């Protein structure tokens, strides 16, 4: 069947409310592109959706074909990965990665290319030292693979929601590598907030595990100039986390004053009053401030 006929077929399916749920469609593109798409009856409309896809560089024919693909195949793949990680079968992971790549090369959906990259990364870092992240951190990695759609074409748009969210653990370096290669200036505001929240969670996890230098290296990798000036909250939060990491690596009055300065700048420049909740994690780390 030609690409055009496939497109017509899936467009008709969408209009007739077959195959696709509202969540599948809403999750199929960047969250800012579609706020609500309820079974083809919202004011968004199929033609507007097609326009949005075109703007993101996504081929509509492939999009409709892809999101109509049963999610069960992805779920089965996830179980295979979890089993391989739990049994430390690195050879199987490499073979699985190659299998996914071949599927893509022989014309299957681009999601198989993304699967191949993810599986290869898991195998590589398991082989490296076996240091893994928690389940929530690994789902964060999957989320940010989706956010960097301009880094690796548009695979990250196609399967938002159904792309592999590993139920196992993933090594810290994979997350850092994604940050290092992500065009953060292209992120939508909602993704920026998700990003900084995930980054803080990861940084705090490393802080509380006393992996201060690891956290310091991660935070230093982020080029804050990539963030537009109107996202100053994101910039300040990264600078604050850097200041905390610097203090934990080498405690001094100067580095402590840097933390206080960043907190003050955030409150004054962004007109955001500091609360006990904002400072609680600092106090848990043993860093006392006199700002409240």
Residue 73: closest CA among 36, 34, 100 = 100
pLDDT, tens digit, 9 for 90 and up, residues 101-114: 888 777 666 567 66
Q: What is the mean pLDDT of residues 144-153?
A: 38
Between CA 7 and CA 131 the distance in angstroms is 44
pLDDT, tens digit, 9 for 90 and up, residues 153-205: 333 332 333 333 332 233 344 444 445 544 444 444 545 555 666 677 778 87
Tokens of 243: 């200041």
- pLDDT, residue 27, reads 41
- 270 phi and psi angles, rounded to 5 deg: -100, 0
pLDDT, tens digit, 9 for 90 and up, residues 207-231: 888 888 888 887 887 777 766 665 6
Scanning the structure block, which residue is given the tokens 């077929």? 9
pLDDT, tens digit, 9 for 90 and up, residues 41-67: 333 344 555 555 555 555 555 555 444
User: Which pLDDT band, with edges at 50, 70 and 90, does 275 fall under?
Assistant: low
pLDDT, tens digit, 9 for 90 and up, residues 10-31: 444 444 433 334 444 434 433 3
Query: CA 83: distance to chain centroid?
Result: 23
pLDDT at 89 over 80: yes
pLDDT, tens digit, 9 for 90 and up, residues 34-45: 333 323 333 334
- pLDDT, residue 80, reads 79
- pLDDT, residue 278, reads 64
- pLDDT, residue 242, reads 92
Whether residue 171 contacts residue 131, with contact meaning beta carbons closer than 8 Å, is answered with yes
Q: What is the mean pLDDT of residues 275-281?
A: 68
Higher pLDDT, 117 or 194: 117
DSSP E strands: which ranges in the chain? none
Q: Please, what is the average pLDDT of the chain?
A: 60
User: Which pLDDT band, with edges at 50, 70 and 90, does 125 fall under?
Assistant: low
- pLDDT, residue 62, reads 54
pTM of the model: 0.46
- CB atoms near residue 204 (< 10 Å): 16
- CB atoms near residue 100 (< 10 Å): 23
Tokens of 109: 């959906």
Between CA 114 and CA 163 the distance in angstroms is 8
Q: Give 18's Cβ-side CA count (13 Å radius).
A: 7
Between CA 128 and CA 122 the distance in angstroms is 10
């Amino acid at each position: 069947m030609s690409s055009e006929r496939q497109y017509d077929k899936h467009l008709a399916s969408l209009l007739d409310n077959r195959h696709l749920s509202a969540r599948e469609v809403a999750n199929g593109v960047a969250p800012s592109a579609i706020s609500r798409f309820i079974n083809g009856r919202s004011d968004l409309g199929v033609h507007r959706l097609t326009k949005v896809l075109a703007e993101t560089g996504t081929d509509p024919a492939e999009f409709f074909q892809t999101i109509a693909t049963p999610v069960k195949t992805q779920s089965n793949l996830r179980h295979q990965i979890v089993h391989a990680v739990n049994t430390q079968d690195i050879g199987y992971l490499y073979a699985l990665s190659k299998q996914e790549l071949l599927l893509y090369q022989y014309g299957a959906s681009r999601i198989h290319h993304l699967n191949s990259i993810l599986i290869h990364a898991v195998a590589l870092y398991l082989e490296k030292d076996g240091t893994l992240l928690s389940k929530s951190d690994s789902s964060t990695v999957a989320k940010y693979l989706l956010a960097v759609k301009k880094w690796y074409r548009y695979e990250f748009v196609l399967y938002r929601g159904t792309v592999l969210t590993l139920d196992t653990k993933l090594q810290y370096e994979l997350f850092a590598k994604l940050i290092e290669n992500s065009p953060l200036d292209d992120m939508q505001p909602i993704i920026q907030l998700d990003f900084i929240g995930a980054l803080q969670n990861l940084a705090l996890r490393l802080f509380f595990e006393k992996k201060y230098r690891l956290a310091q290296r991660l935070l230093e990798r982020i080029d804050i100039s990539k963030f537009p000036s109107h996202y100053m909250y994101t910039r300040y939060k990264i600078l604050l986390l850097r200041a905390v990491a610097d203090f934990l690596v080498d405690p001094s009055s100067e580095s402590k004053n840097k933390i206080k300065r960043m907190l003050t700048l955030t409150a004054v420049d962004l007109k955001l009053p500091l609360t006990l909740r904002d400072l609680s994690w600092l106090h848990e780390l043993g860093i006392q401030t006199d700002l409240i």
